[in-house]
């Protein structure tokens, strides 16, 4: 039988994709490809499981006459309409008839492709999702080429539809997200540049304040300090030993005196001992201080993060995510490096410089004076360069956090970026931010590259001065050769330390800037403050009374004196154009903000007197953009009530209309969902968030545009879930679509921050006021849409 | 709205009947005598409480029956459901890890109780370590692999596993 010409293969080219078994073939083996004369190949696919669910490697070949395949998971040998054609080896072959069908069923981890005739299934093969694509392609090819129908299999279209809908809703959501973060304020950034002096003072205070975090580890910190004192002192011993070695051993020997060589051994032993002691001590010191600083940084991170959690919503609306992340992450890390590396070096350098100066003066005051003469000049230079460096580093830090913010903006908004094909613009934006980092670093480097070698020049000059003055003093007999040798050894160390101290100036400035940024955050006070004597409200009845409530964002007043009483169990619909203050009102009831003036009471108690968390335990919120955390479906539903039982969770999911789609997920209630809800559609995420609110069993419920981001069909499902949710709870619902508020006991119409109408749907329609106009505008639009379609 | 939203799903085996057909098909006949063909058996908490509740859902995803625990059922039905679950919860057990590539996405070559298998893991998030020292690896196609206990793997496999995290 002729083998098939390769050119006529409609074989999927993706078969050689990554992650499949070594011995992958892109073509079925010979025994399956034995075609009759005139027979044409239509499609091939592989399956990878046998009847017992063991991995296998088999092929299904579809031609225009037959379906040829390796051993199926199950088959009927005696089918009437499909005759099993005789074939060599273990190959099975079925002749295709008019009634032949190929169906694919996908279950969680195992899929089944079935070959069926008019009266039932004749054979089926099993496969894992790894083969799903090619199996579905074969099914499509069968429908299109053999049955001549352009029916895509139901699964594929369903999946495609779901994906489209999901993409759209996510794109909308991401758009909202990026918009929100765009109006972030750069004020703080500007402040940092325009007033470097004040920042610097604060920076130094910040560094000192960091040390207060070492308090819990004071014992280790003091031990570390002592160790660095001793280890520094020990490093001063070797040069001191060179003095008698030269004066008492080497020079007398050179001038002909009989000095026993054994003396040398003593000095060498002393030098070795000092070196070993220095090594041991500095090892212990480095480890101790690193241990302390690691803990200080860890405490700082937790303190910063927990403080951030305690801050009110308005803090977050004014900050960029990237900036906050870099404060908790890289700023604390920079401080850690500073404490564990630079601070140790710095303190041991200061010690060494002081001790060296002391030893030099003790050996010979005159020579010491000459040696230390250039030192004040160095100090002045350091001082003058410091402020330039500091300004440079603040710029660099700001540029850096700008760059991270660019990342934090665009990664969550990636769908919007791609949808509008703005990748290159985003790259440019990132490049601009990156260029600013480069420029800022260049500036620092110009100062630094000039300054560093200058210090080296000074130390060389210092050495020269010591040689000159020393030689003169040796000639005049005031100083021995040994003392001069010791001086030279000390002076090399001395300038070495000075140099490394100066190199630390940038690191110190950098750490100071970081410490400043962290304390700036730690010093932020929550605007919604816990009352000094908070009352735990327990479970509230839900009678909410607003009297004379004003609220302003900055200088703009958004609510002008709202008076409203909501009875327990009543459902209030807030209606109005966007910007009329609906969400602000809801935010005030949730106590995300406090009113600028006026009071809000719940069950007759001012909400400001209630314990914040105690009050919020009574609240349930379903927002327009349901946020899901990285974790399982169960964890997300039980977010507000982690101790809930499985039965309660399932009951909440059922009531929210989420149960069935959860069961369809790969691991049902144990399936993981991503930070942005990953594989779930907008409607599905919304139903999970309704289940989350239901489980808390809140007495006050806030629905902020809960159904506005989903399609009409999903809205019906969600609406049913919402209806179950609102029963028996005080509910404040915001909706653009007035139809969503049909169950509301009362509608409150807001316009530009004031209540203009209150009443039931019928009353308001009869009054022919603002609500009447809104309602008719919407029904007209809906009618037009309906007739237009 | 789907039927399960209004009518509580049948909870006890007296209200419905399962019928096993050839080629792995399972049909459910509900209390109204209506036949739902090719139904699916789903564990609600396959990872956290594998012995816990089980749902039987129709091909279109509608819930038909809910069983709080397999233990409540009589033996033949129990074994039928277990067999069905075994197909659905295809979970090869990794016996030995042969190789793991260095860079993400990682390519794994493993010996399982069902034979040798090569797969790709997109991200370390797909390697889930459970408190009982077991681990579940999900490959780029969504197929899951179980390591019943990381501690009893041979030293080489364990090292490969640890470095992949």
The count of CB pairs under 8 A between chains A and B is 132
A190 vs A447, more confident: A447
- The helix/strand/coil state of A145 is helix
CB contact under 8 A, B141 and A129: yes
Which positions in chain B touch A106 (Cβ < 8 Å)?
none
Asked whether residue A331 carries a pLDDT value surpassing 90, the answer given is no
Q: How far is CA B155 from CA A624, A639, B150, B152, in A?
A: 51, 39, 10, 9
A539's tokens: 């479970």
- Provide the shortest C-alpha distance from residue A13 to chain B (in Å): 18
Nearest by CB: A54 against B45, B114, B128: B114
* pLDDT average, residue stretch A261-285: 86
Confidence of residue A148 (pLDDT cuts 50, 70, 90): low
* pTM for the whole structure: 0.65
Quick: pLDDT tens for B109-135: 999 998 899 999 887 778 888 778 888
Least confident of A408-417, A428-437, A469-478: A408-417
What whole-number distance in Å separates Cα of residue A234 and Cα of residue A67? 87
Number of Cβ within a 10 Å radius of residue A394: 25
CB contact under 8 A, A53 and B90: yes
A681 vs A571, more confident: A571
- Provide the shortest C-alpha distance from residue A57 to chain B (in Å): 11
A461 vs A284, more confident: A284
Quick: pLDDT tens for A737-753: 777 777 788 888 888 88
Confidence of residue A203 (pLDDT cuts 50, 70, 90): low
- Residue A120: which region, alpha, beta or left (left: phi > 0; alpha: psi -120 to 50)? left
Number of Cβ within a 10 Å radius of residue A456: 11
- Provide the shortest C-alpha distance from residue A128 to chain B (in Å): 7
A438 vs A153, more confident: A438
Nearest by CB: A74 against B22, B107, B144: B22
Nearest to A297 by CA among A357, A265, A339: A339
Nearest by CB: B44 against A107, A663, A720: A663
Locate the chain A residue with the closest alpha carbon to B91: A109
Mean pLDDT is highest, among A173-182, A245-254, A413-422, A539-548, for A539-548
CB contact under 8 A, A21 and B116: yes
The pLDDT of residue A788 is 59
CB contact under 8 A, A128 and B90: yes
CA angle centred on A608, ends A602 and A611, rounded to 5°? 85
Which positions in chain B touch A18 (Cβ < 8 Å)?
105, 107, 120
The gap from C-alpha B86 to its chain's centroid, in whole angstroms, comes to 7
The pLDDT of residue A708 is 65
Contacts of A460 (CB under 8 A, 6+ apart): none
Asked whether residue A23 carries a pLDDT value surpassing 60, the answer given is no
Which positions in chain A touch B90 (Cβ < 8 Å)?
49, 53, 108-110, 128
* pLDDT average, residue stretch A610-630: 81
Asked whether residue A118 carries a pLDDT value surpassing 70, the answer given is yes
Nearest by CB: A668 against B43, B117, B140: B43
Residue ranges per domain, chain B? 3-88, 94-164
Asked whether residue A202 carries a pLDDT value surpassing 80, the answer given is no
CB contact under 8 A, B139 and A666: no
Which positions in chain B touch A657 (Cβ < 8 Å)?
5
Complete domains list, chain A, with CATH: 6-152 (2.30.29), 187-522 (1.20.1560.10)
Nearest by CB: A110 against B22, B25, B90: B90
Asked whether residue A7 carries a pLDDT value surpassing 80, the answer given is no
Cβ-contact A185, A318 below 8 angstroms = yes
CB contact under 8 A, B44 and A632: no
The pLDDT of residue B93 is 92
B139 and chain A in contact, CB less than 8 A: yes
Cβ under 8 Å to A: B residues 7-46: 22-25, 38, 40, 42-46
Asked whether residue A425 carries a pLDDT value surpassing 80, the answer given is yes
- The helix/strand/coil state of A600 is strand
Asked whether residue A85 carries a pLDDT value surpassing 60, the answer given is no
- Provide the shortest C-alpha distance from residue A742 to chain B (in Å): 18
Which positions in chain A touch B1 (Cβ < 8 Å)?
716-717, 720
What whole-number distance in Å separates Cα of residue A384 and Cα of residue A502? 12
* pLDDT average, residue stretch A673-679: 60
B146's tokens: 């179980």
A513 vs A125, more confident: A125
Nearest by CB: B119 against A19, A121, A661: A19
A39 vs A787, more confident: A39
The pLDDT of residue B130 is 79
Q: Quote the mean pLDDT of chain A.
A: 76
What whole-number distance in Å separates Cα of residue B136 and Cα of residue B96? 14
The pLDDT of residue A711 is 67
Asked whether residue B164 carries a pLDDT value surpassing 70, the answer given is yes
Least confident of A170-174, A487-491, B50-54: A170-174
Mean pLDDT is highest, among A136-150, A542-556, B147-161, for B147-161
CB contact under 8 A, A109 and B47: no
CB contact under 8 A, A716 and B1: yes
The pLDDT of residue A10 is 38
CB contact under 8 A, B119 and A634: no
Nearest by CB: B38 against A105, A666, A720: A105
Which positions in chain A touch B112 (Cβ < 8 Å)?
55
The pLDDT of residue B33 is 82
Query: Residue with structure tokens 């069935």?
Result: A660
Least confident of A34-38, A160-164, A190-194, B113-117: A190-194
* pLDDT average, residue stretch A589-615: 85
Query: Residue with structure tokens 């057909």?
Result: B21
Cβ under 8 Å to A: B residues 57-76: 57, 61-63
Quick: pLDDT tens for B60-73: 888 888 888 888 78
Nearest by CB: A19 against B24, B45, B118: B118
CA dihedral A390, A391, A392, A397 (to 10 degrees): 90
B51 and chain A in contact, CB less than 8 A: no
Asked whether residue A409 carries a pLDDT value surpassing 90, the answer given is no
What whole-number distance in Å separates Cα of residue A554 and Cα of residue A533? 28
- Provide the shortest C-alpha distance from residue B105 to chain A (in Å): 10
Asked whether residue B82 carries a pLDDT value surpassing 70, the answer given is yes
What whole-number distance in Å separates Cα of residue A527 and Cα of residue A592? 9
Which positions in chain A touch B110 (Cβ < 8 Å)?
none
Confidence of residue B97 (pLDDT cuts 50, 70, 90): very high
* pLDDT average, residue stretch A98-105: 85
B121's tokens: 């893991």
β A571-575/A730-734 pair status: parallel
Asked whether residue A586 carries a pLDDT value surpassing 80, the answer given is yes
CB contact under 8 A, B45 and A18: no
Q: Quote the mean pLDDT of chain B.
A: 81
B98 and chain A in contact, CB less than 8 A: no
Which positions in chain A touch B83 (Cβ < 8 Å)?
none
* pLDDT average, residue stretch B28-41: 85
Mean pLDDT is highest, among A317-326, A442-451, A652-661, for A652-661
Cβ-contact A513, A389 below 8 angstroms = no
* pLDDT average, residue stretch B39-45: 87
CB contact under 8 A, A19 and B57: no
Nearest by CB: A109 against B107, B117, B143: B143
Nearest by CB: B115 against A22, A55, A720: A55
A120's tokens: 């039932």
Best B44, B123, B126 residue to mutate vs chain A (most A CBs within 10 Å): B44
A657 vs A412, more confident: A657
What whole-number distance in Å separates Cα of residue A544 and Cα of residue A273? 80
CB contact under 8 A, A55 and B63: no
Asked whether residue A467 carries a pLDDT value surpassing 80, the answer given is yes
Which positions in chain B touch A134 (Cβ < 8 Å)?
none
Quick: pLDDT tens for A217-242: 888 888 888 888 888 888 888 888 88
What whole-number distance in Å separates Cα of residue A301 and Cα of residue A41? 64
């Amino acid at each position: 039988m002729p083998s098939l010409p390769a050119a006529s293969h409609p074989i999927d080219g993706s078969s050689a994709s990554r992650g499949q078994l070594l011995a992958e073939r892109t073509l079925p083996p010979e025994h399956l490809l034995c075609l009759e004369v005139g027979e044409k190949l239509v499609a091939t696919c592989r399956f990878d499981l046998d009847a017992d669910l063991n991995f296998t490697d088999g092929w299904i070949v579809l031609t225009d006459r037959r379906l040829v395949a390796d051993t199926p998971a199950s088959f009927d040998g005696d089918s009437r309409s499909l005759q099993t054609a005789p074939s060599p080896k273990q190959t099975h072959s079925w002749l295709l008839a008019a009634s032949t069908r190929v169906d694919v069923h996908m279950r969680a981890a195992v899929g089944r492709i079935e070959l069926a005739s008019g009266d039932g299934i004749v054979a089926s093969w099993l496969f894992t999702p790894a083969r799903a694509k090619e199996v579905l392609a074969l099914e499509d090819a069968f429908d299109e080429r053999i049955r001549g129908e352009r029916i895509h299999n139901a699964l594929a279209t369903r999946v495609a539809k779901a994906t489209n809908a999901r993409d759209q809703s996510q794109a909308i959501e991401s758009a909202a997200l990026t918009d929100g973060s765009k109006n972030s304020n750069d004020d703080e950034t500007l402040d940092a540049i325009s007033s470097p002096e004040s920042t610097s003072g604060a920076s130094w205070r910040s560094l000192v304040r960091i040390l207060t975090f070492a308090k819990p580890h004071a014992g280790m910190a003091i031990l570390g300090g002592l160790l660095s004192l001793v280890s520094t002192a020990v490093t001063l011993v070797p040069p001191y030993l060179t003095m008698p070695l030269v004066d008492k051993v080497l020079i007398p020997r050179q001038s002909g005196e009989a000095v026993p060589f054994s003396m040398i051994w003593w000095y060498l032993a002393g030098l070795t001992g000092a070196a070993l002691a220095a090594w041991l001590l500095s090892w212990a010191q480095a480890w101790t201080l690193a241990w302390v600083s690691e803990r200080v940084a860890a405490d700082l991170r937790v303190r910063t993060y927990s403080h951030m959690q305690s801050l009110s919503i308005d803090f977050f609306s004014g900050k960029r995510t990237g900036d906050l992340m870099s404060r908790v992450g890289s700023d604390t890390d920079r401080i850690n490096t500073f404490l564990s590396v630079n601070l140790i070096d710095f303190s041991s350098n200061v010690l060494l410089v002081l001790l060296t100066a002391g030893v030099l003066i003790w050996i010979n005051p005159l020579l010491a004076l000459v040696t230390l003469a250039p030192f004040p000049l160095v100090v002045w230079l350091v001082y003058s360069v410091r402020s330039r460096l500091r300004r440079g580093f603040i710029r660099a830090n700001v540029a850096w956090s700008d760059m991270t913010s660019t990342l934090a903006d665009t990664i969550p908004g990636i769908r919007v970026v791609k949808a509008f094909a703005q990748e290159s613009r985003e790259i440019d934006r990132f490049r601009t931010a990156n260029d600013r980092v480069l420029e800022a670093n260049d500036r620092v480097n110009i100062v630094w590259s000039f300054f560093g070698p200058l210090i080296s020049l000074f130390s060389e000059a210092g050495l020269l001065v010591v040689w000159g003055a020393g030689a003169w003093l040796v000639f005049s007999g005031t100083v021995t050769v040994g003392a001069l040798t010791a001086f030279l050894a000390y002076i090399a160390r001395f300038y070495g330390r000075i140099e490394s101290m100066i190199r630390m100036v940038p690191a110190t400035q950098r750490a100071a800037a970081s410490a400043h940024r962290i304390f700036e955050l730690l010093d932020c006070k929550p605007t919604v403050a816990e009352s000094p004597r908070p009352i735990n409200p327990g479970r509230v009845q839900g009678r909410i009374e607003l009297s004379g409530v004003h609220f302003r964002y900055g200088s703009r007043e958004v609510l002008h004196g709202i008076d409203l009483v909501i009875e327990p169990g009543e459902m209030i619909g807030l209606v109005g154009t966007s910007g009329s203050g609906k969400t602000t009102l809801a935010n005030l009831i949730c106590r995300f903000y406090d009113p600028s003036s006026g009071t809000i009471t719940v069950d007759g108690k001012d909400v400001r007197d209630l314990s914040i968390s105690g009050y919020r335990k009574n609240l349930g919120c379903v927002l327009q953009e349901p946020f899901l955390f990285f974790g399982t479906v169960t964890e997300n539903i039980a977010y507000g009530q982690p101790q809930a039982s499985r039965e309660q969770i399932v009951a909440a999911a059922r009531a929210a209309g989420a149960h069935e789609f959860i069961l369809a997920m790969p691991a049902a209630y144990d399936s993981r969902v991503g930070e942005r809800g990953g594989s779930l559609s907008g409607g599905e995420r919304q139903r999970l968030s309704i289940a989350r609110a239901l489980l808390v069993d809140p007495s006050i419920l806030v629905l902020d545009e809960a159904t506005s981001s989903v399609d009409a069909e999903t809205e019906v499902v969600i609406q049913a879930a919402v209806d179950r949710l609102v029963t028996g709870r005080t509910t404040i619902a915001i909706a653009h679509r007035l139809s969503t508020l049909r169950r509301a006991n009362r509608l409150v119409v807001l316009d530009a921050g004031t209540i203009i109408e209150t009443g039931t749907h019928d009353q308001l329609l009869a009054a022919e006021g603002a609500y009447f106009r809104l309602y008719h505008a919407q029904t007209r639009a809906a009618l037009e849409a309906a007739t237009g379609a | 709205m789907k039927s399960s939203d209004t009518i509580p799903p049948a909870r006890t085996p007296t209200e419905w009947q399962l019928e096993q057909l050839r080629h792995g098909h399972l049909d459910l006949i509900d209390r109204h005598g209506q036949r739902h063909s090719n139904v699916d058996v789903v564990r609600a908490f396959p990872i956290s409480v594998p012995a816990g509740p089980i749902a039987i859902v129709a091909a279109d995803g509608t819930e038909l029956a809910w069983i709080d625990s397999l233990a409540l059922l009589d033996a033949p039905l129990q074994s039928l459901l277990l067999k069905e679950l075994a197909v659905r919860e295809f979970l090869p057990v990794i016996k030995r890890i042969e190789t793991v590539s260095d860079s993400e996405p990682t390519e794994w070559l493993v010996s399982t109780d069902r034979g040798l298998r090569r797969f790709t893991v997109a991200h370390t998030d797909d390697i889930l370590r459970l408190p009982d020292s077991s681990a579940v690896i999900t490959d780029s196609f969504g197929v899951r692999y179980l390591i019943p206990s990381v501690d009893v793997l041979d030293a080489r496999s364990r090292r490969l596993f640890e470095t992949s995290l």
